[in-house]
Amino acid sequence: MTREIIIAPSILAADFVRLGEEVTAIDTAGADWIHCDVMDGHFVPNISFGADVIKSIRPLTKKTFDVHLMIAPVDPYLEAFAKAGADVITVHAEAGAHLDRSLQAIRALGKKAGVSLCPATPESAIEYVLDRLDLVLVMTVNPGFGGQSFLESQLEKIARLRSMIGERLIRLEVDGGVTRDNAAAVAAAGADTLVAGSAVFRGKSNADYADNIAAIRVAAESGRVPRESSVQPGRAGERVRAR
């Protein structure tokens, strides 16, 4: 199933001194979703922000808040992020022993449920929870810091996940080092939702943000292959075609 490309700028790369203005800027610049990377300094080696920050910026846009929880334990905090205004809540497969329970809890809160996989985690880790998912997020960097380089090894995982998802209404998201230069390869492998931080917030003006979002979207659309073609992962920056 071919789904429209979604561009979800990560506010981790925004200027936190004027975070509200930055959220408004990417909204008007053409962002489809607002991606919120929450880090706890425990599950990942960095601390970002919590539910109160998300609550404070929620009134500034009607766009979907895509909240990526890089925290452990995660279950005790799901309700707080749901109440803060998250629309999609994504937890890590590696963050707890009971992934199925976490996904049930997210759904019970009335939110869409996602699961994220670190680079070293195989797609088989989520095989038995696929029918509880609205989104699968592939980390194409090791989580914890923005501005890292894209790991091309993850293109094969993206392609395998696309095959595993099949006709299910599950979005396949990619987060980490996504730019206009590799968006075509990411989309060709099967992703339909692209998170970009530094590549969006590069520049100083709303026009710069709009140009950056548009460039990533055009690149991603150019990399798509027909549904009936088999996906063959290739190097970032190259359009991937079936052989």
Active site residues: 37, 175
Question: What is the C-alpha to C-alpha distance for residues 98 and 84, in angstroms, rounded to an integer?
Answer: 24
What 3-state DSSP class applies to 8? strand
CA 96 to chain centre: 20
- Tokens 């987060």 found at: 175
Question: What is the C-alpha to C-alpha distance for residues 217 and 102, in angstroms, rounded to an integer?
Answer: 32
Question: What is the C-alpha to C-alpha distance for residues 29 and 209, in angstroms, rounded to an integer?
Answer: 6
Other CB atoms within a 10 A radius of the CB of residue 39 amount to 21
Kindly state the tokens that stand for 163.
Answer: 């095959």
Question: What is the C-alpha to C-alpha distance for residues 145 and 45, in angstroms, rounded to an integer?
Answer: 8
The DSSP code for 36 is: E
Cis peptide leading into residue 73 (ω within 30°): yes
Kindly state the tokens that stand for 84.
Answer: 């803060």
Kindly state the tokens that stand for 103.
Answer: 């996904």
Other CB atoms within a 10 A radius of the CB of residue 106 amount to 28
